Amino acid sequence: MAEFPSKVHLNSHPICLRIRWPSVYQDEKQRTWLHLVMETGGVLQVRLRQEDIPSGLIALTTCPLTASTMPLLWTCHLGSQYLDSMGRFWRIVHHIKENGIEEMILELKEDS
């Protein structure tokens, strides 16, 4: 019998995500999150994917867009959004766990 992919929507989000290396954040449980900056229709979004990465394998490069737009820290605010170290608010578009991999998409709120 074939196994179906499991996809679960999560309501419990990391309390904080702190930049540790270029393109890599770390949460309060020491889990690493890779990020990808996306711009869709003029709206800035960040896709965060929780992956355990040994620090020796993390590339020491980053793109200029990442360096200029990404905060050093995100803090969960009121459970449904993040406040970054630049004073901007990010809406949680989705936070899922599919086949054991956690993924979260944050979108910069227009009024930030």
Tell me the pLDDT tens digit for each residue of 57-69.
555 444 444 555 6
pLDDT reported for residue 21: 80
Q: pLDDT, tens digit, for every residue of 9-62?
A: 898 999 999 998 878 899 999 999 999 998 888 899 999 999 987 655 555 444
pLDDT reported for residue 5: 63
Q: Between 75 and 6, whose confidence is greater?
A: 75
Domain presence at residue 19: yes
DSSP 29-91: TS-EEEEEEEEETTEEEEEEEE----GGGS-S---HHHHHH--SEEEEETTTEEEETTS-EEE
Structural domain span for residue 32: 7-108
Give me the number of domains the chain comprises.
1
pLDDT reported for residue 94: 94
Domain harbouring 78, CATH code: 2.40.15.10
Domain presence at residue 2: no
> What confidence category does residue 112 fall into, taking pLDDT thresholds of 50, 70 and 90?
low
